[in-house]
Homo-oligomer: A and B are copies of this chain.
């Protein structure tokens, strides 16, 4: 074990340099024009996995961005198998002008690696690859069988991974799925996440007149699509923050008293939360705390609104169209197909007859609740504690990793969410970062996890 840790220590710089190479590739997956960069990133990753000692690796093409797969099965059938899932694609970078340093030119400031994807998810998934390399270089083997499944479409809905999993159940068969794509509750407080929110993401288009009109000539007699859409959006929630879509809360699993107690024990300061965001207060569903609202209650956000003239100066136009991107975060046991249908029906029902409304479902994923008592979770608790010197806490997360629910349903494998991010990482925002200590510590905790897992989790 000491040899393993000292190998990791010795290779710190090399591992960081490799991560920087990984981060320099602008693998934004939601912009079709950027597909070549995403592929470039997949090929770089494949090469790195091979160089890390996993020769049995390859690219799986999809109708979208490629999937990177690798496996080391040298521990034999008697040993358990862990499937490590992550993604190499990243979020868009706009508003670009708010980045202190360029999003794809990684740089280090006060102990943090700044770059798009540093925390979500390149930095996190890369710790496992380096942990595997450390085992193989030190012992020539791993204590368990490992499978790597790293996709390039997580930030645009994992549109093709679900089918891939359904079509490759045998290839992907495993005892546990290990995912590092979540956050710690706080800096210095390792955390195991046991629930993720799902998502339903739609786009609504409102069309009024067949052309842009002069707001002087027509204003007052013709419905304005922006005004109409704003009105429809205003009808999505009431003044208590309750979402007004009929049947929206039907399948919501209420929090247990134990969970609410647990949340209250966590070191959370609403004042610090607001100060960090520079807002004068939080606001959300009446009757719930901030942690409950973001972890265990569904939410609805307008992610984008576009209509009329948004350039400099004034244009007196009554626009022909307006559109909005709307996403809802879902909690157990809501289903995203069901919710997407319900919001579509509702939007249609509240649209005035003077406009045409079209709703597109952009993507979705179901919420997840994972067992807290699996042997995988136990191994993760031990690994994090010995790597970071602090006992981990249990938490939920407001974000979504849609595919995790597919692992449960298709592979029937429990998932362990052993995240390494920090709340201050600014994922999906300008100046995304990843703490260097969590990168190095993450390589250790992953390496130790393999060891602990091999002891605790025997195959039956």
Query: What 1/0 mask marks residues of chain A from 302 to 314 whose CB sits below 8 Å from any chain B CB?
Result: 1111111111111
Beta-carbon contact of B98 and A329 below 8 Å = no
Beta-carbon contact of A309 and B293 below 8 Å = no
Q: How large is the interface on A (under 10, 10 to 19, 20 to 34, 35 or more residues)?
A: 35 or more
Residues A286-326 near B (CB distance < 8 A): 290, 293-294, 297-319, 322-325
Across the interface, which residues of B come within 8 angstroms of A301, CB to CB?
Answer: 215, 219, 224, 227, 318
Across the interface, which residues of B come within 8 angstroms of A300, CB to CB?
Answer: 219
- Stretch among A67-75, A172-180, A230-238 lining the B interface: A230-238
- For residue A169, CB closer than 8 A to chain B, the reply is no
- For residue A445, CB closer than 8 A to chain B, the reply is no
Query: With the chains together, A31 CA to B212 CA distance in Å?
Result: 19
- For residue A208, CB closer than 8 A to chain B, the reply is yes
- For residue A94, CB closer than 8 A to chain B, the reply is yes
Query: What 1/0 mask marks residues of chain A from 224 to 256 whose CB sits below 8 Å from any chain B CB?
Result: 101101110110110001000000000000000
- Stretch among A54-62, A272-280, A332-340 lining the B interface: A272-280
- Stretch among A121-129, A139-147, A380-388, A422-430 lining the B interface: A422-430
Beta-carbon contact of B299 and A310 below 8 Å = no
Min CB distance A412 to B, Å, is 26
Residues A179-230 near B (CB distance < 8 A): 183, 197, 199, 201, 203, 208-224, 226-227, 229-230
Query: With the chains together, A229 CA to B227 CA distance in Å?
Result: 11
Query: With the chains together, A311 CA to B304 CA distance in Å?
Result: 9
Query: With the chains together, A92 CA to B217 CA distance in Å?
Result: 17
With CB as the reference atom, state the residue of chain B lying closest to A329: B219
Name A's B-contacting residues (CB within 8 A).
30-32, 91-92, 94-95, 98, 156-157, 183, 197, 199, 201, 203, 208-224, 226-227, 229-231, 233-234, 236-237, 241, 277-285, 290, 293-294, 297-319, 322-325, 327, 329, 352-355, 362-363, 397-400, 423, 426-431
Known: A221-B284, A230-B230. 13 other contacts (CB 8 A): A30-B311, A30-B315, A92-B315, A201-B314, A203-B314, A209-B278, A211-B431, A214-B429, A217-B397, A221-B299, A227-B302, A231-B233, A315-B325
Which 6 pairs across A and B sit closest by C-beta, in order of nearness?
A220-B299, A216-B399, A30-B313, A304-B308, A234-B234, A306-B310
